[in-house]
Structure 1
Amino acid sequence: MKVSEIQVSYSNQGDKRITVNNSETVFEIALAHWDKNIIEFQEEVKLMLLNRANVILGIYDLSKGGVASCSVDLKIILSIALKGNASSIVLLHNHPSGKLLPSESDKILTKKLKEACEIVDLVLLDHLIITKESYYSFADNGIF
């Protein structure tokens, strides 16, 4: 009797390893990985994976939604982080409206994700809401 095989793959395709020291660096890197034609049109969620030294392992495109919302599954976030052998993560999403303040659902998601990460020994470093011009950092604003 055969069962499915689970495979985990990681490929470092970048020559330069980038260390994250602040939210501005996260924003600049995230913006470079965002389709500039989509950022004001459709909400997207991405996940930045980092090692213990806050070196970026990669960015995963997690979800695409509509103009006002996007589906986010905590189990998928955790599975990606664990498969990628990340020590910490940063959740990233855009607001096509251009408004940077977090919604109530953004706050609830961040709180749940922080709690879930603690259970599996991951650190949620930050959650950034981004636009073409700027960003909102949950960590910088003391949300968690």
Structure 2
Amino acid sequence: METKVNEIAISYSGSIKTKFLPNISSSRDAINLLFEHWDKQNIELFESFKMLLLNNSNKVKGIYTLSTGGITGTLVDIRIVFAVVLKSVTTSIILAHNHPSGTLQPSQPDKLLTEKIKKAGELFDIKVLDHLILTPDGDYFSFADEGIL
């Protein structure tokens, strides 16, 4: 009798040529791109966590929404972070989430999560370039700019 198991398929599909991908050279570049692609109708209602996936030249391969939560928080599963990063053959990431309240300061859980993802990334040679917090008004806080990454 044959034992049956599921077949696992891992794929990444990118249809935009590399030369046309947006380049990130600062936190402002990243926040502008993220804000442009954020759902403006929900940005002040609930928290979402996203990440920019970048190649070696800091060109954005894509934006991935990791989670959407409640008014004061959202859950991020680090295993999913790296499943997406590894599947897309990404070399660096920029983390981002919104604070519906408009508060720009990172919470202690924000800092701990960032450090945890950064340490896990080091095992795979994946760089965490920044963690951005954005508000409904378009203001932002950059971990890298503030020297806490």
Does 1:138 find its partner at 2:140?
A: no
Which structure has the larger Rg over C-alpha atoms? 2
Q: Secondary structure at the match of 2:53?
A: strand
Q: Matches of 1:8 and 1:135 in 2, distance apart? A: 34
**Residue among 100, 107, 127 paired with 1:103:** 107
Q: Matches of 1:31 and 1:13 in 2, distance apart? A: 22
Q: Secondary structure at the match of 1:63?
A: strand
Q: Secondary structure at the match of 1:46?
A: strand
Shift of 1:8: 2.4
Shift of 1:45: 0.4
TM-score normalized by structure 1?
0.95
Shift of 1:13: 4.0
Q: Give unpaired runs (5+ residues) of structure 2.
A: none
Shift of 1:5: 2.0
TM-score normalized by structure 2?
0.92
Runs of 4 or more off by more than 4 Å in structure 1? Answer: none
Shift of 1:61: 1.0
Q: Matches of 1:55 and 1:124 in 2, distance apart? A: 14
Equivalent residue number for residue 19 of structure 1: 23
Number of corresponding residues: 144
**Residue among 42, 48, 51 paired with 2:52:** 48
